[in-house]
C-alpha cells in the first residue's frame, strides 16, 4: 500500500499497477463505444487468463470497465470496454503522472 | 512475470516507469488496432498507380481519343482487386475481437460514398446518351469524377466527425481530381494516378509521424 504523503498519492491506485495500466491503456486505444474480446485483450497484453480476470474484476467493480457476455457454452464470448468513467480516470491519471514527472 | 504480485497496488511502481509503460502500451495498441495502417496505404498507393498507369499507357497518344483498351481495363480491375483483398485482410487483422457499437451504423455511413461513386457512372451514361465526346465520357469523367465526388462525400463526413486527418485526405483527393481534369482525356489518367498515389503516400508518412509525435 502507498504510504501517506508519498509522491504517488495523486495517482489513482486502481490504475497505478502495471497490469491494470496496460489493460486501461489498451482499451483506451479503441474508439469510444467499441469493445474488445477477452481473448484478443489477453493476446495483446500477454497476461494469463486468471491474472487478467482478477484485474478486470477490480476495474469493473470500480466502474472503469463494462464487460458483456454473449452466447452460451463454447460459443460464449466476453467483451470488455472502457466506460466513460474509466476514460475520465485514465485522463486524470495521465495528467497527474505528467504533473508529477514535471515536478521531479 | 506474475503481474498480480509485482507492484500490485502500485506502491513500488515508479512513476517514470509508469509513464514509459503507458506510452509504449498506447502506441502498441494503436498500431495493432489501427485501420487503415500505413502499410495498407502504401499497398493501395502502388496498386492505384499501376491501375491508372495501365489505363494511361493504353490511351496516350490517341487522336481522336477512343478510350482505354479492354486489356487495360482488365489490368485496372486486377489492381483494384489486389487493393480490395489487401483492405479485407488488413481489416480482418485489425478488427479481430473488436465489436463495434453498431454494424447497422457502419452501413448507413457507407451509403453516401456508394451513392456518390455510382452517380459518376450514371452521369457517364447520361452524357454519352446526350452525345458528349468520348474524351469527356470515357476520359476525364471516369478518371477525375470518382475522386471529386467521393472525396467531397468523405470531406463532409470527416468535417461532421471533426476528423482532421480524414478531412485533409479528402480535400487533397478533391483537389487532385479537379486539377487533373486540366491534363486532357489521356493525361488525366497519369495525373490522377500519380496524384492519388502521392496523397496516399503522404497519408502513410503522416500516420507514422503522428504515431511517433
List pLDDT tens digits, range A14-38: 999 999 999 999 999 998 888 999 9
Query: CB of A39 within 8 Å of any CB in chain B?
Result: yes
Using a CB-CB cut-off of 8 Å, the residues of chain A touching B11 are 1-3, 6, 8
List pLDDT tens digits, range B58-91: 999 998 999 999 999 899 889 888 888 998 898 8
ipTM, interface predicted TM-score of the complex: 0.88
Residues 6 or more apart whose Cβ sits within 8 Å of residue B21: A18, A21, A22, A25
Q: What is the mean pLDDT of residues B2-21?
A: 69
pLDDT, residue B184, reads: 93
DSSP string, B7-53: TTTSTT--HHHHHHHHHHHHHHHHHHH-SS-HHHHHHHHHHHHHHHH
Nearest to B29 among A29, A34, A51 (CB): A29
Q: What is the mean pLDDT of residues B125-142?
A: 94
Output the nine-digit C-alpha cell for A74: 463454447
pLDDT, residue B193, reads: 95
Using a CB-CB cut-off of 8 Å, the residues of chain A touching B15 are 7-8, 11, 97, 100-101, 104
Strands B98-99 and A77-82: unpaired
pLDDT, residue B2, reads: 42
Query: CB of A84 within 8 Å of any CB in chain B?
Result: no
Report CA-CA distances (Å) from B136 to B78, B118, B124, B129, B131: 24, 17, 9, 12, 10
Helix (H, G, I), strand (E, B) or coil at A66: strand
Q: What is the mean pLDDT of residues B20-25?
A: 94
Query: CB of A102 within 8 Å of any CB in chain B?
Result: no
Nearest-by-CA chain A residue for B1: A47
pLDDT, residue A9, reads: 75
Rounded (5°) CA angle B204-B206-B211: 100
Instruction: Say whether pLDDT at B15 is over 80.
Output: yes
List pLDDT tens digits, range B160-206: 988 888 999 999 999 999 999 999 999 999 999 999 999 999 999 99
Helix (H, G, I), strand (E, B) or coil at A3: coil
pLDDT, residue B196, reads: 95
Task: State the pLDDT confidence band at B103, using cuts at 50, 70 and 90.
Answer: low
Q: What is the mean pLDDT of residues A54-61?
A: 95
Question: Has this prediction a pTM greater than 0.80?
Answer: no
Record: contact A26-B9, CB cut-off 8 A: no
Amino acid at each position: 500500500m502507498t504510504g501517506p504523503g508519498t509522491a504517488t498519492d495523486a495517482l489513482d491506485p486502481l490504475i497505478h499497477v502495471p497490469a491494470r495500466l496496460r489493460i486501461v491503456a489498451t482499451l483506451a486505444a479503441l474508439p469510444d463505444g467499441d469493445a474488445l474480446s477477452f481473448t484478443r485483450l489477453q493476446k495483446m497484453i500477454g497476461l494469463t487468463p486468471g491474472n487478467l480476470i482478477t484485474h478486470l474484476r477490480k476495474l469493473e467493480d470500480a466502474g472503469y470497465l463494462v464487460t458483456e457476455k454473449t452466447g452460451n457454452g463454447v460459443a460464449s464470448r466476453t467483451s470488455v470496454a472502457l466506460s466513460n468513467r474509466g476514460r475520465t480516470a485514465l485522463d486524470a491519471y495521465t495528467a497527474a503522472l505528467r504533473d508529477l514527472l514535471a515536478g521531479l | 512475470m506474475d503481474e498480480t504480485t509485482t507492484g500490485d497496488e502500485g506502491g513500488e511502481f515508479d512513476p517514470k516507469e509508469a509513464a514509459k509503460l503507458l506510452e509504449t502500451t498506447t502506441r502498441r495498441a494503436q498500431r495493432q488496432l489501427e485501420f487503415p495502417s500505413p502499410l495498407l496505404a502504401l499497398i493501395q498507393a502502388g496498386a492505384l498507380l499501376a491501375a491508372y498507369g495501365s489505363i494511361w499507357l493504353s490511351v496516350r497518344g490517341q487522336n481522336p481519343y477512343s478510350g482505354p483498351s479492354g486489356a487495360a481495363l482488365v489490368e485496372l480491375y486486377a489492381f483494384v482487386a489486389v487493393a480490395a483483398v489487401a483492405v479485407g485482410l488488413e481489416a480482418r487483422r485489425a478488427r479481430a475481437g473488436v465489436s463495434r457499437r453498431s454494424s447497422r451504423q457502419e452501413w448507413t455511413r457507407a451509403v453516401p460514398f456508394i451513392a456518390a461513386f455510382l452517380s459518376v457512372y450514371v452521369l457517364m451514361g447520361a452524357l454519352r446518351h446526350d452525345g458528349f465526346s468520348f474524351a469527356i465520357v470515357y476520359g476525364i469523367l471516369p478518371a477525375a469524377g470518382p475522386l471529386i465526388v467521393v472525396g467531397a462525400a468523405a470531406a463532409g463526413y470527416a468535417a461532421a466527425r471533426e476528423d482532421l486527418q480524414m478531412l485533409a485526405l479528402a480535400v487533397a483527393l478533391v483537389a487532385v481530381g479537379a486539377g487533373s481534369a486540366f491534363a486532357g482525356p489521356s493525361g488525366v489518367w497519369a495525373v490522377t494516378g500519380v496524384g492519388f498515389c502521392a496523397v496516399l503516400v503522404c497519408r502513410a508518412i503522416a500516420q507514422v509521424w503522428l504515431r511517433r509525435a
